[in-house]
Structure 1
Amino acid sequence: MPIAVEFLGRTRVLSEGREVALSRQNISFLAYLVLFREIDHPREVIIEQFWPSCEPTRGRSCLGTALLRLKRALQVNGSNWFEMSPRGEPRISSSAPIWFDIVEFEAAIMPALAAPEGMLHATLLRNLAVGLTHYRGDLLIGWYDDWVLAERERLRLVCLRGYRRLMEHYVSVGDMDKALAAGQSALRIEPLQELVQQHVIELYYNTGQRVAAIRQYDKLAAMLKAELGIAPSKNTTVLIDRIRSERPVS
């Protein structure tokens, strides 16, 4: 695609490999249109979201100006990425010739999440792995609108589910090293995911890395105490007690 838009991690718009300057509001407005591309939003709703202090006539003018600036900034020869719904609401065309990382991220991961447990088909596995590479960081870092915070958390959870599904696949085929790598990737995004921590502890132990398993538990316990003021769950405690009670192989 001649135009690529990245909202995950560093936010940027690239046209033919060169970065295009957009205002913060235009970036968030574009992200809003992309993330909610399946919904036809009445103009009044969009105006209330992005120009809440404007009276109606001024709000419609601001919306028109924002759309015009986006169309000029994201020019695609011979095709149109922007269209109006039958009701006259602005939306991203379903055939938009623009690469959006959030669209590619979800499209690649969701089929694997919907697949039966255990080993993944090669195509699903490949798409899942590629999709996870698109998650270079949280959505729209530095933006704090309510809708951004909600979507940021949703996409983070999709990513975590993706890594857990990758762990599950590699465990099912007996590749514990890759399962561990997937688990550690998930914990870099959210280290307080205790269920993932349990799986990582077990994987360390089952691959003969008893000391690493205990160290992983100790790190978890310290984080939970510092961040939330709580101790690990009963299931995690039972797991580490079993590991500690078994004599290491000499």
Structure 2
Amino acid sequence: MPDVRLHLLGGFELTIDGHRAPTLQPGVQRLLAFVALTVRGVERDFAAQQLWPDSTEQRARANLRSSLWRLRRLDVELVETSPTRLRLAESVWVDTRDVVGELTASGVGRLDSPVAFDFLFVDLLPDWYDDWLTIEREKVRQLTLRMLETQARRALARGDASEAIQLALTAMAIDPLRETPCRLVMEAHLSEGNEFDAQRTLDDYRQRLTCDPRLAVSADALTLLARTPGPPALSVGESVAG
């Protein structure tokens, strides 16, 4: 069985036994990507409507049949078909599925894999502007953020504030208005006694929120600094000089 690999992160690429497959027409590429991202398969009519939204129903179905015929010319099974449904062949490796499997195995996110690390810094099919990709890109973004936050919490739990800060700052760069990574950075600074850095992180975050009047810092973030222990109180008769 040939080794078929479909890459969607960073751009579309299909390889067969380590060699790039012949260039596929844009409609064929979109069909393959769409089916690959619908893990449980998809209705044929729904796929046709999503992939050719500006065509009539009859024309969209014809485009789907034509694209499937072109895929079969590659002499490897890429899409399993039935009269009503489409599904990616189980033998096809897809980078998004592989990464999701790594990052969600037993509920544990991992950054030590090259594939998982690349996942942080590439977009899903970045040069495509199809409406159906909006939700798929958001899935990738949410998974990335939650994985970074999980790793930052684990770093904090083992006392590694430096790694926690770097992971949380990476999440903040992806979504500057998301509060969870901001709080993680603050907690990491406070764990090292750097109250000024924690306050500066909060001030910077509050400034970013001014772009949308509906947003405000939560009570959880505000109380982080309030919970910071101050210097011990002096007993009666003691002086600062001791």
TM-score tier after normalising by the smaller chain length: 0.7 to 0.9
Q: CA deviation at 1:194?
A: 0.5
Q: CA deviation at 1:178?
A: 1.9
Which residue of 2 is the match for residue 121 of structure 1?
Answer: none
* Separation (CA, whole Å) in 2 of partners of 1:69 and 1:208: 63
* Separation (CA, whole Å) in 2 of partners of 1:84 and 1:29: 13
User: Residue 240 of structure 1 is aligned with which of 210, 225, 231?
Assistant: 225
Give the alignment of 1:218-229 within 5 angstroms. Answer: 218-228=203-213
* Separation (CA, whole Å) in 1 of partners of 2:176 and 2:104: 23
Going from structure 1 to structure 2, the CA distance change for 1:230 and 1:83 (only over 3 Å counts) comes to closer
Which residue of 2 is the match for residue 94 of structure 1?
Answer: 90
Going from structure 1 to structure 2, the CA distance change for 1:129 and 1:56 (only over 3 Å counts) comes to closer
RMSD (Å) for aligned C-alpha atoms: 3.1
Contact between 2:110 and 2:147, CA under 8 Å: does it hold in 1? no
* Separation (CA, whole Å) in 1 of partners of 2:178 and 2:120: 18
Which residue of 1 is the match for residue 98 of structure 2?
Answer: 104
SS in 1 for 2:222: helix
User: Residue 183 of structure 1 is aligned with which of 168, 172, 190?
Assistant: 168
**Bigger radius of gyration among the two:** 2
Q: Determine whether 1:27 maps to 2:29.
A: yes
SS in 1 for 2:87: strand
SS in 2 for 1:168: helix
The one-character-per-residue Cα deviations of 1:146-180 (angstroms, maximum 9, x if unpaired) are: 43112211221111111122122222322222222
Going from structure 1 to structure 2, the CA distance change for 1:104 and 1:225 (only over 3 Å counts) comes to same
SS in 1 for 2:13: strand
Going from structure 1 to structure 2, the CA distance change for 1:234 and 1:38 (only over 3 Å counts) comes to same
Q: CA deviation at 1:125?
A: 4.3
Contact between 1:109 and 1:132, CA under 8 Å: does it hold in 2? no
* Separation (CA, whole Å) in 2 of partners of 1:208 and 1:21: 57
Which residue of 2 is the match for residue 42 of structure 1?
Answer: 43
Going from structure 1 to structure 2, the CA distance change for 1:134 and 1:45 (only over 3 Å counts) comes to same
The count of corresponding residues between Structure 1 and Structure 2 is 228
SS in 2 for 1:90: strand
Name the amino acid aligned to 2:28.
N
Going from structure 1 to structure 2, the CA distance change for 1:23 and 1:219 (only over 3 Å counts) comes to farther
* Separation (CA, whole Å) in 1 of partners of 2:203 and 2:19: 45
Which residue of 1 is the match for residue 12 of structure 2?
Answer: 12
- Relative to the length of structure 2, the TM-score reads 0.77
- Relative to the length of structure 1, the TM-score reads 0.75
Going from structure 1 to structure 2, the CA distance change for 1:18 and 1:225 (only over 3 Å counts) comes to same
* Percent identity over paired residues: 25
Contact between 1:82 and 1:93, CA under 8 Å: does it hold in 2? yes
Q: CA deviation at 1:209?
A: 3.3
Unaligned segments of structure 1, at least 5 residues: 116-123
Going from structure 1 to structure 2, the CA distance change for 1:230 and 1:112 (only over 3 Å counts) comes to same
* Separation (CA, whole Å) in 1 of partners of 2:226 and 2:114: 34
Contact between 1:3 and 1:13, CA under 8 Å: does it hold in 2? no
* Separation (CA, whole Å) in 1 of partners of 2:211 and 2:47: 41
Which deviates more from structure 2 when the two are superposed, residues 53-62 or residues 195-204? 53-62
Which residue of 2 is the match for residue 158 of structure 1?
Answer: 143
The one-character-per-residue Cα deviations of 1:15-60 (angstroms, maximum 9, x if unpaired) are: 3465864454433322210110312x23222222223454455333
Give the alignment of 1:47-62 within 5 angstroms. Answer: 47-62=48-63
The one-character-per-residue Cα deviations of 1:64-111 (angstroms, maximum 9, x if unpaired) are: 222233445xx47xx5233224x5533211122x4x221112111122
Which deviates more from structure 2 when the two are superposed, residues 224-233 or residues 26-35? 224-233
Name the amino acid aligned to 1:46.
A
* Separation (CA, whole Å) in 2 of partners of 1:144 and 1:13: 17
* Separation (CA, whole Å) in 2 of partners of 1:44 and 1:187: 40
Going from structure 1 to structure 2, the CA distance change for 1:125 and 1:230 (only over 3 Å counts) comes to closer
